[in-house]
């Protein structure tokens, strides 16, 4: 089908692509466009920001997690209801896994989805040299997919001076410029942690940025570039499910989701989820029921499983600890055998205790032994592939799933049910506490990299229900 689409990418991080993507989405939204937004890579924060602040549905697309064909399917599935899809790249355009491959790079996603790329170039300290930079990026691969450029942090005068040179030397149009917009800058803390007061302020900033971009970018040319994208085809998503779910799809649908309810922690403290993970649980017959460990006094009724994802529990340690009735209810349900998955912040919450950012220790749910403590530095950051060292709820010994880690905390009891290895690297470590009805650790699992894991979790919940 016809899916108009573009990607905003950049030569390097810090070029302004996130800010410009937000402003462009708002500007296109103001023109009445029905949008879908996508973030290249494993970052669950930018899609959360796009959805919460801009009101634009947003998903991750990551070829390390899902390969070429499934990535195409996830894109097509989520973009088909929109009349224009906007992808935001990650890091530098060609920067992939391990820093020396194209795997999971913005370029690979553009190649997989056959999407034209608008290169956002920060002009600070540069003028004519920008043409050489653009030429280099266009010549790096036989098909670069670069179809236009936006000059960031420059003046209209300089943009007009360079426009014919770039057109002549590089063969692509300059689609506009962005002046310095210090009053519209989005700070890193805003991307994931948005209070109601911050939300109003951010929406005002982005609306102001959208007004500026409406004047400085050629929005009609950007829309034409998106509409020139070739027709898009993809494999139905159901074909990536475990075989028995493909063969018994009617039966799975007949298993009323109302009889299998998985509680999902979701509030200011727990907000990091891959939406495709939740969708997969629903496709496998589960209903996701949201609850708040911060604000609710107890779990929702009639649950057969629990999912507690990542987020910022360390910023709410006092409130989480003081909500004793919720901690007690979770502990009692899990002790009685309810299956659960806990990742990163959720893993920390289930500990006996957890430190906050000031290293004050607070009692937590007490499901798992140990203390979660602040290290002051980013640990075990990046992609990992997990290999099971023993049979447990999610899989059998030797089975694998891909994941991502990003945390400034550690645990005195990380577990040893899996062995994590860095792609293209020799580094590895043991992780995750797991058993017949649970798995808990720092890695954020991406279920579609091995849907069997999600299916096994759902089946554990069914056994508990029975």
d(CA 198, CA 204): 10
User: What is the Cα 43 distance to its own chain's centre?
Assistant: 4
State the Cα angle at 185 between 272 and 23, rounded to 5°.
Answer: 80
How large a percentage of the chain has pLDDT more than 90? 82
DSSP state of 258: G
Q: pLDDT digits over 8-39, tens only?
A: 999 999 888 989 999 999 999 999 999 999 99
Residues 8, 146: contact at Cβ < 8 Å? no
Residue bearing the bigger pLDDT, 181 or 113: 113
Cα 40 to Cα 27, 110, 200, 423, distances in angstroms: 21, 9, 27, 18
Taking residue 170's Cβ as centre, other Cβ atoms within 10 Å add up to 22
CA distances to 168, 213, 243, 318, 459 from 165, rounded to whole Å, are 5, 23, 55, 59, 61
The string of DSSP letters for 72-108 reads HHHHHHHHTT-SEEEEE--SSTT--GGGTS-TT-HHH
CATH fold group of domain 239-465: Rossmann fold (3.40.50)
- CATH architecture under which domain 5-227 falls: 3-Layer(aba) Sandwich (3.40)
Mean pLDDT of 297-306: 97
Beta-sheet strands, E only, within 327-399: 340-343, 351-355, 361-363, 368-388
- pLDDT above 80 (res 412): yes
SS3 302: coil
Q: In angstroms, how far is CA 385 from the centroid of its own chain?
A: 17
**Whether 344 is catalytic:** yes
* This prediction's pTM: 0.93
**Between the ranges 175-189, 349-363, 377-391, where is the mean pLDDT highest?**
349-363
- Which two structure tokens, joined as six digits, stand for 105? 């790079």
Give the position of tokens 């506490």.
433
Q: What is the DSSP letter of 217?
A: B
3-state percent breakdown (helix, strand, coil) of the chain, nearest 5: 40, 25, 35
CA distance 129 to 36: 34
Averaged confidence pLDDT in the chain: 93
pLDDT tens column, 310-335: 999 999 999 999 999 999 999 999 99
Do the domains at 5-227 and 239-465 have one common CATH topology? yes
Q: Of the listed 184, 344, 395, 431, which one is catalytic? A: 344
CA 254 to chain centroid, in Å, comes to: 31
Domain chopping of the chain, boundaries:
5-227, 239-465
Residue 367 pLDDT greater than 90, yes or no: yes
Inform me whether the pLDDT recorded for 195 exceeds 70.
Answer: no
Do 377 and 393 meet the contact criterion of CB atoms below 8 Å apart?
Answer: no
Q: What is the DSSP letter of 171?
A: S
* CA distances for 200 relative to 20, 53, 197, angstroms: 19, 9, 5
Residue 14 CB partners (closer than 8 Å, separation 6+): 122
190 pLDDT above the threshold of 50: no
pLDDT tens digits, one per residue of 36-80: 999 999 988 888 888 888 999 999 999 999 999 999 999 999 999
Distance CA 40, CA 92 (A): 11
For 220-267, what is each residue's pLDDT tens digit? 999 999 999 999 999 999 999 988 887 665 555 555 445 799 999 999
What are the tokens at 263? 């509680």
């Amino acid at each position: 089908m016809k899916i108009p689409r573009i990607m905003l990418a950049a030569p390097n991080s810090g070029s302004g692509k996130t800010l410009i993507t937000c402003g462009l989405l708002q500007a296109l939204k103001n023109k009445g466009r029905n949008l879908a937004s996508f973030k290249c890579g494993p970052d669950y924060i930018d899609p959360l920001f796009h959805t919460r602040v801009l009101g634009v549905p947003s998903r991750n697309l990551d070829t390390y997690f899902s390969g070429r064909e499934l990535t195409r399917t996830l894109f097509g599935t989520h973009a088909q209801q929109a009349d224009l899809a906007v992808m935001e790249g990650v890091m530098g355009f060609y920067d992939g896994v391990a820093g020396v491959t194209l795997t999971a790079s913005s370029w690979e996603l553009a190649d997989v989805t056959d999407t034209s790329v608008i290169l956002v170039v920060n002009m600070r300290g540069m003028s004519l040299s920008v043409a050489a930079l653009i030429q280099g990026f266009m010549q790096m691969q036989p098909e670069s997919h670069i179809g236009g450029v936006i000059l960031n942090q420059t003046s209209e005068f300089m943009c007009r001076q360079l426009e014919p040179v770039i057109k002549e030397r590089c063969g692509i149009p300059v689609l506009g410029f962005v002046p310095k917009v210090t009053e519209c800058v989005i700070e890193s803390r805003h991307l994931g942690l948005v209070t109601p007061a911050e939300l109003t302020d951010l929406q005002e900033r982005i609306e102001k940025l959208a007004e500026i971009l409406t004047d400085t970018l050629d929005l009609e040319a950007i829309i034409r570039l998106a509409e020139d994208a070739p027709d898009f085809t993809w494999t139905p998503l159901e074909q990536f499910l475990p075989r028995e779910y493909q063969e018994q799809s009617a039966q799975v649908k007949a298993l009323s989701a109302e009889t299998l309810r998985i509680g999902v922690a979701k509030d200011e403290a727990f907000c990091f989820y891959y939406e495709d993970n939740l969708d997969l649980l629903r496709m496998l017959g589960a209903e996701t029921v949201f609850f708040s460990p911060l604000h609710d006094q107890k779990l929702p009724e009639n649950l057969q499983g629990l999912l507690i994802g990542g987020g910022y529990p360390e910023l709410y340690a006092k409130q989480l600890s003081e909500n004793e009735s919720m901690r007690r209810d979770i502990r009692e349900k899990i002790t009685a055998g309810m299956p659960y998955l806990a990742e990163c912040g959720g893993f920390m919450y289930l500990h006996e205790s957890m430190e906050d950012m000031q290293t004050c220790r607070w009692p937590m749910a007490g499901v798992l032994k140990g203390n979660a403590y602040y290290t002051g530095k980013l640990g075990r950051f990046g992609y990992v592939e997990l290999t099971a060292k023993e049979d447990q709820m999610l899989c059998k010994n030797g089975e694998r799933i891909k994941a991502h880690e990003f945390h400034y905390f550690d645990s005195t009891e990380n577990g040893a049910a899996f062995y994590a290895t860095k792609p293209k690297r020799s580094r590895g470590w043991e992780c995750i506490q797991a058993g017949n009805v649970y798995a808990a650790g720092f890695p954020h699992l991406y279920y579609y990299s091995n849907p069997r894991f999600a299916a096994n979790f759902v089946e554990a919940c069914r056994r508990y229900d029975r």
